[in-house]
Amino acid sequence: MLSLGNRDTIKKWRDVANDARKELYEKEKEINDLKQEGLELKQALKDVNDQCVLLFNEVHKAWKVSSALQTDLKLEHVLLSDKQNIEKEQNTQLRNQVAQLLHLEQDQKLRIQEQDSTIQSLQAKIRTLETQLNETIKAQSSSISVSEPESADLSNSKFTGDGIDSSAVTRKLEEELKKRDALIERLHEENEKLFDRLTQKASTAGSPKVGKFHNSLE
């Protein structure tokens, strides 16, 4: 039989064993929890890594798109710059043409004024000749008689001469009028050509000033 001391010792070691077994169970449970947590962390890390890869791919695609857009924008900027330079040159040429046409119009107006003055002078001369002719006719009507044939012949000769002068002045007046009409027609054609050019330019540039300019030319 066991003594009392042996029983106490056995009980003591049994308690120690139970405590050790309990502590070992807790440690094993803690280890399993840590393993599970490690697995969850690994899965989370894998998910994060996958998301990083996806994000990197998206960033790479976005960078490619951005690079392509920058290239397109640079090319478009170059094209727009060239187009702007061409439009500036065309506008400069058009302004020069407009200035030349305006100068030509002024010259033609001066020539028309000079021709109008010449026409007025010729008309005044015609009126003067008509007056002289009427006076000559009246003088001939009062002086012609049966007994004075020679005087009648002289009057008829003067009348014929005045008629010749009047016809020549009339022809000259008609020629000046034709020249004036031709000059006016030419000026009108130049204005129409200028209007067509301005209209074509305004259709591409959206300029609202063409109508005003054409009205000012007319």
Q: What is the pTM of this model?
A: 0.37
How confident is residue 196, by pLDDT bands cut at 50, 70 and 90? confident
pLDDT in tens, 111-151: 888 888 888 888 888 788 888 878 877 877 776 544 444 44
pLDDT over 90 at 154, yes or no: no
Non-local (6+) Cβ contacts of 183 within 8 A are 108, 111, 112, 115
Tokens of 8: 């106490």
Res. 160: pLDDT tops 70: no
Res 41: pLDDT: 93
Residue-wise pLDDT for 52-86, tens only, equals 999 999 999 999 999 999 999 999 999 999 999 99
Residue 109 has pLDDT above 80, yes or no: yes
d(CA 208, CA 155): 70
Q: What SS3 state is found at 2?
A: coil
Using CA atoms, how far apart are residues 42 and 44, in angstroms rounded to an integer?
A: 5
What's the mean pLDDT in 4-25? Answer: 82
**Average of per-residue pLDDT across 18-24:** 89
Q: How far is CA 149 from each of CA 81, 89, 99, 138, 155, rounded to the nearest angstrom? A: 94, 82, 68, 17, 10
